[in-house]
Chain A
Amino acid sequence: MTSTSPAPVLSRLGDGATVELIGVVKEYPGAGTRALDELSLSIAPGEFIALLGPSGCGKTTALRALAGLEQINAGSIRIDGVDVASTPVNKRDIGMVFQAYSLFPHMTVLQNVEFGLQMRRVSAADRAVRAREALEMVGLDHLAERYAHQMSGGQQQRVALARALVTRPRVLLLDEPLSALDAKVRVSLREEIRRIQTELGITTVFVTHDQEEALAVADRVAVMRAGEIEQIGTPEALYLTPRTPFVADFVGVSNRMQGTLRSGTITVRGASLPSIDPTLPDGEVLAYVRPEDMVFVPLDQAAPADITGTVASTSFLGSLRRTTVRLDDDTIVSVQHGVEQQFLFGDAVALRLTGRPVASSPVAA
């Protein structure tokens, strides 16, 4: 970093780095299984990737390997095409925001933000200017003289974000930065992170176990499972065409319904649904049907192919309503519909599948 140009932080630089993980293996000493099992992922410059997965699937490990905080056992990690295996953390030029509050408690907010610039030998005058700008970016320039213990969790994470970004790192890594915050703050801060990321054009990896959060902020979401990437794609692609039952289950809500797969079409209770995965062998399957892919039909207009059942519960979710229906064969499904449709417990109802493609898994006969 040069100390000459006090250029504004707040500008789209568009010089984000490409990041590639190729067959990365990480096995913690003493652990029987691999935390990362030949993980491969390639990230375009300026892209915002979310790593999504259940607890223990290796999200943090992947991020830490990328940061250089964990040594990997095999594979390679490249930033801008250069293998960084032998580059220590402090030379990788990354910015990191941790899940735990990590502001230096003995420094003021401003000193915290200046720290990275100081490490890069930026002159004191430039440091102050750039740190102020970074704080303005997260809307906290008025708290520059505070200490960490004088701020809320959300404010601390904002400062941590400013601190990570002020050096204009090549890659920004965020490990569940919002998980310690309450729901409202979480939503507003994740939008802010996305806005700032877009403005700076910085390649970003965001770890979360919250699928809603991942879908809301990322350009692409990588769903991880047991140290591998199960599926990677845009939020829409993941939601609409989950390639595996795991993804269908993890991203959004799915109803599991018995069906029969024959040459690419799954027959569920008389309704025909295209299968997303063409490689599945014919036979009995569990189809994963989204709550919004079922609609209520008036009982008197019900066709023979429609499914009947009784209402078990219903909940109002603001802009929509979700009703749980017990089908005649005791399967429980949940159906999403408009708030104007209302049901009472025990109402007899008929459901029709909209015929959108579904993921499915074979049922062991």
Chain B
Amino acid sequence: MSAVPLTSTAVEPTTVPSPSPRRGRTPRVGAEPSKAARLIILIAVGLVFLVPLGAMFEFTLRTSGKPGVYSFAHYASIFHTDPALGISYEPLFEGIRNSLLICLLTVAIILLILLPTMLLVELRYPRVRRVLEFVCILPITVPSIVLVVGFVPVYQRVAAVFGSQPWTLAFAVGIIVLPYAYRPIATNIAAFDLVTLTEAARSLGASWPVAIYRVILPNMRRGVISAVFLTVAVVLGEYTIAAFLSQNTFQTALLLISQTDSYVATIFALAALVFAFVILLIIGRFGAASPGSRRRRPRRVQP
């Protein structure tokens, strides 16, 4: 990259848009890739995702000690554990339940604390927007292992108040998740004139709650949904905190199981990956569906 000195004179002539974009051979800057190019990109990216998933799936079908023999036996074993073998998947199911509960609480933290805070800052205290952004982005710069070391003494307190319950992890996870939830919401807020729309609604007779519910939130759908799904994805992938605070969640249980039954562990890992994939697809769908967000006009054109 850096080997070729890029001078502006060397680049400009070739990047000037072709005057007849319809039949021009020179690719236009910022133009959509052609159909064939798109297909190739799709296939390449698809392979990157699908090959490992396919390999995982193949692995779960194997029968140990008998190469080439495939069956769904491992899947069946999840639900019909042989008591004689003494293997129980209950800790894994409990881990999943705990993870889902933490998910729910973390999403609640995002929706009931972060979102209102961001709206309040935007509408009433725009001066502290920068501070809020800094605070919310900060966790991403701190390795989670470092965070966790800090959390341990804090959680001794938390445990003293609430007991050593798995759901209390939601407080810690809520912090880890902040950057992921903050970004899409902030982007959404920047994409429309929140203040003017609110003032318009107010001037038309809407009280604060009505203005927020009827005017702001419908225009925040994309950002909020993205934030929620990213939160869910992060929570389901979170291992460090749970492990260090000695709580049983999906990820910790998965690691435990993998030491005794790598097939079942892989089945759940696969399920988690597919789940995350579906979530991302849903974000894409929902985001595109809101009528007002497709095309934006410049807000103010000086005459």
Check A99–B291 contact: CB distance below 8 A: no
* Residue-wise interface mask of A (114-125) relative to B, using a CB-CB cutoff of 8 A (1 in contact, 0 not): 011001100000
Residue A243 lies at the interface, judged by CB distance under 8 Å to chain B? no
Q: Which residue of A lies closest to B294 (CB)?
A: A149
Check A153–B297 contact: CB distance below 8 A: yes
Given known pairs A105-B192, A105-B219, A106-B219, the reply for A167 and B204 (CB within 8 Å) is yes
Check A101–B297 contact: CB distance below 8 A: yes
Interface residues of B in 195-214 (CB under 8 A from A): 196-197, 199-207, 210, 214
A91 to B206, CA, bound (A): 9
Check B301–A153 contact: CB distance below 8 A: yes
Residue A181 lies at the interface, judged by CB distance under 8 Å to chain B? yes
Q: Which among B196, B202, B210 is the interface contact of A89 at CB below 8 angstroms?
A: B202
Check A104–B200 contact: CB distance below 8 A: yes
Residue B293 lies at the interface, judged by CB distance under 8 Å to chain A? yes
How close is A9's CB to chain B, nearest CB, in angstroms?
A: 15
Residue A196 lies at the interface, judged by CB distance under 8 Å to chain B? no
Given known pairs A106-B218, A147-B291, the reply for A100 and B204 (CB within 8 Å) is no
A101 to B200, CA, bound (A): 10
Given known pairs A90-B205, A90-B206, A96-B200, the reply for A106 and B292 (CB within 8 Å) is yes
A163 to B292, CA, bound (A): 18
Residue A42 lies at the interface, judged by CB distance under 8 Å to chain B? no
Residue B299 lies at the interface, judged by CB distance under 8 Å to chain A? yes
Check A104–B197 contact: CB distance below 8 A: yes
Check B294–A67 contact: CB distance below 8 A: no
Residue A3 lies at the interface, judged by CB distance under 8 Å to chain B? no
Check B210–A119 contact: CB distance below 8 A: yes
Residue A72 lies at the interface, judged by CB distance under 8 Å to chain B? no
* Residue-wise interface mask of A (81-116) relative to B, using a CB-CB cutoff of 8 A (1 in contact, 0 not): 000000011110111101111101110000000011
Interface residues of B in 267-303 (CB under 8 A from A): 290-297, 299-303
* Residue-wise interface mask of A (146-181) relative to B, using a CB-CB cutoff of 8 A (1 in contact, 0 not): 011100010000001001100100000100000111
Q: Which residue of A lies closest to B193 (CB)?
A: A100
Q: Which residue of A lies closest to B298 (CB)?
A: A180
Given known pairs A119-B210, A147-B292, the reply for A101 and B299 (CB within 8 Å) is yes
Check A115–B201 contact: CB distance below 8 A: yes
Check B297–A149 contact: CB distance below 8 A: yes
Q: Please provide the 8 A-B residue pairs with the shortest distance between their CB atoms, ordered closest to farther.
A: A105-B292, A119-B205, A116-B204, A96-B203, A102-B200, A89-B202, A106-B218, A106-B292
Residues in A lying within 8 Å of B, measured CB to CB = 67, 69, 88-91, 93-96, 98-102, 104-106, 115-116, 119-120, 147-149, 153, 160, 163-164, 167, 173, 179-183, 186
Residues in B lying within 8 Å of A, measured CB to CB = 192-193, 196-197, 199-207, 210, 214-215, 218-219, 290-297, 299-303
Excluding A149-B294, A149-B295, 11 further A-B contacts by CB distance (< 8 Å) are A88-B202, A89-B202, A100-B193, A100-B196, A104-B197, A105-B192, A115-B201, A148-B292, A163-B200, A179-B300, A180-B302
